[in-house]
Amino acid sequence: MDNKALPFASYEWKIAWRYLRAKRAEGGVSVMTWISLIGITLAVFALVATLSVRSGFRTEIVDTILGANSHITLYKAPSQDQYGNVSRTFKDYDEIASKLLSLPSVKGSAPLIRSQIMATFDNRNTGLEVFGISYENLLRLDRIAKPEEFEGDMNDFKNGIAIGSGVARELGIKVGDSIKLISPNGVRTAFGTSPRVKQFKIVYIFTAGRYDIDRTRSYLPFSVAQEYFNREGLADEIEVLLNNPSNLTEATSQIENVVAPDVQLWTWRDASSSFLRALEIEDNVMFVLMSILVMIASMNIISGLIMLVKNKGRDIGILRTIGLSRGSIMRIFMICGAFTGILGTILGIALGCLFAIYIDPIFSVINVLSGGGVWDPSIRGIYSVPAELHVIDLIKATCLSLGLSFLVTIIPARRAASLHPVDALRYE
């Protein structure tokens, strides 16, 4: 009869389900089954949580890079004038910016003044990176012009200076205060160059989402920055924003065709290449480590199945005697082990998804219980733990867990199938 039955017939499922529900007194291994189930659930949960945080962290970092910086920056190669002075500034920046804007891959092009200075307020000092940019071009930087948190009015940019929230905290200033900027390359006199000191009104405070940006960056109107840094009629660099920042190859090729040979290009990937490579290596290492954790948890299934096979030796002998084939016996015990893996995977995926969805309140509770300082933005760069669920990550976690759970059931299931009915009943 059994030889005519299809694999995984209904009676095989019924027998496996009975073994799974059996109490220890009846020869079952319910305790080991629960241990295996909990182990796989926690391992899959850890894997999904790690993958979601990894994806969220990468997305947040790349988003802050693209949302607060240019996608491609143009620099002029160093050149000397007749007096031996070296210069890397653009004189024809308006013409170059117009040419770039005509390219199909370019969304925006902006001449820029860039310098580092000292900022002071109420006897507090800090280093500051100043970007001179026009109001219209600043609006294209979403992380600056449209941040989640800000103070002041962006429309007042022409009347003052915009600074990061980290600078505001460091100096203890707010919108409406006046900050003093000190540039070492200031006014040239007969006695040398004296520092240039000027006060600017704080009109806008932004939170870009990156600690290093908020802690050091400020923006001045382009014409004001030209005057303050002695760059009248000049620009230090030209920033380019792309419609598709990922398609750098095509964009750089188009830009190189319209600019002079002495113009050098620096993409956002060039600027962040080492950091992105470190993230990629960390991602791969974390996935391998979490995969090992899932594998270790799956090994508990082997222990539970070996004990189940040992306790059910008499049953195996009886089932073989009444006509069940070795294949049926093997499938019955494979179902027992696979059921634990499937249920543990489902529970682990569900817990991992809940963790990713409610990660902010979870870490808020952890931060309170630990006394604060769980997530230091000065070290990690961003202000909170990000999490982002991707279908591909859930598929990888599910396939890994189910694959290992099914694989480890083969050895004990084959052992059960190899038992001879006479040997199985001899010592019962």
Residues 119, 160: one domain?
yes
Residues 366, 313: one domain?
yes
Tokens 């009869």 correspond to: 1
Residues 17, 91: one domain?
no
Confidence category of residue 260, pLDDT binned at 50, 70, 90: confident
The predicted model gives 203-211 an average pLDDT of 90
Confidence category of residue 236, pLDDT binned at 50, 70, 90: very high
Q: What pLDDT does residue 296 have? A: 87
Residues 123, 246: one domain?
yes
Q: Provide the token pair at 408.
A: 């480890």
In a domain, 269, yes or no: no
197, 226, 261: which is the final residue of a domain? 261
Tell me if 428 sits within 8 A of 317, measured CB to CB: yes
Asked if residue 423 has pLDDT above 90, the reply is: no
Distances (CA, A) of 333 to 120, 145, 197, 406: 74, 62, 82, 11
Residues 56, 121: one domain?
no
Q: What pLDDT does residue 314 have? A: 72
**pLDDT tens digits, 1-46:** 455 555 667 777 777 777 776 655 444 456 777 788 888 999 999 9
Cα separation, 68 vs 144, whole angstroms: 6
Q: Provide the token pair at 278.
A: 């470190």
Cα separation, 276 vs 61, whole angstroms: 9
Distances (CA, A) of 27 to 171, 303, 304, 312: 72, 15, 12, 7
Cα separation, 202 vs 156, whole angstroms: 9
**pLDDT tens digits, 35-75:** 888 889 999 999 999 999 888 888 888 888 888 888 999 99
Asked if residue 326 has pLDDT above 50, the reply is: yes
Residues 19, 103: one domain?
no
Q: What is the CA radius of gyration of the chain?
A: 33
Exposure string for 347-364, b = 16+ CB within 10 A, e = fewer:
bbbebbbebbeebeebee
Comparison of pLDDT for 348 and 336, the residue scoring more? 348
Residues 246, 348: one domain?
no
Q: Please give the sequence-ordered ranges of beta strands (E in DSSP) within 250-298, or none if there are none.
A: 263-267
Query: Which runs of consecutive H residues, i.e. helices, occur in 69-183?
Result: 93-101, 135-138, 142-145, 165-171
Q: What pLDDT does residue 305 have? A: 77
Q: What pLDDT does residue 359 have? A: 87
Q: Which structural domain, as residue segments, surrounds residue 316?
A: 2-63+276-426
In a domain, 31, yes or no: yes
Number of domains in the chain: 2
Asked if residue 83 has pLDDT above 60, the reply is: no
In a domain, 266, yes or no: no
211, 235, 261: which is the final residue of a domain? 261
The predicted model gives 331-358 an average pLDDT of 89
In a domain, 153, yes or no: yes
In a domain, 310, yes or no: yes
In a domain, 209, yes or no: yes
In a domain, 328, yes or no: yes
Least confident of 115-124, 181-190, 242-251, 369-378: 369-378
DSSP-derived letter for residue 382 is B
- pTM here? 0.76
Residues 308, 257: one domain?
no
261, 292, 316: which is the final residue of a domain? 261
Q: What pLDDT does residue 186 have? A: 63
Residues 245, 289: one domain?
no
Asked if residue 183 has pLDDT above 80, the reply is: yes
Residues 96, 242: one domain?
yes
Residues 176, 216: one domain?
yes
Cα separation, 127 vs 302, whole angstroms: 61
Q: What whole-number percentage of the chain has pLDDT above 90? A: 32
Three-state DSSP class for 139?
coil
Highest-scoring range by mean pLDDT, 33-37, 201-205, 373-377: 201-205
Highest-scoring range by mean pLDDT, 36-40, 159-163, 329-333: 159-163
In a domain, 224, yes or no: yes
Asked if residue 122 has pLDDT above 60, the reply is: yes
Residues 199, 281: one domain?
no
> CB 296: neighbour CB atoms within 10 A?
13
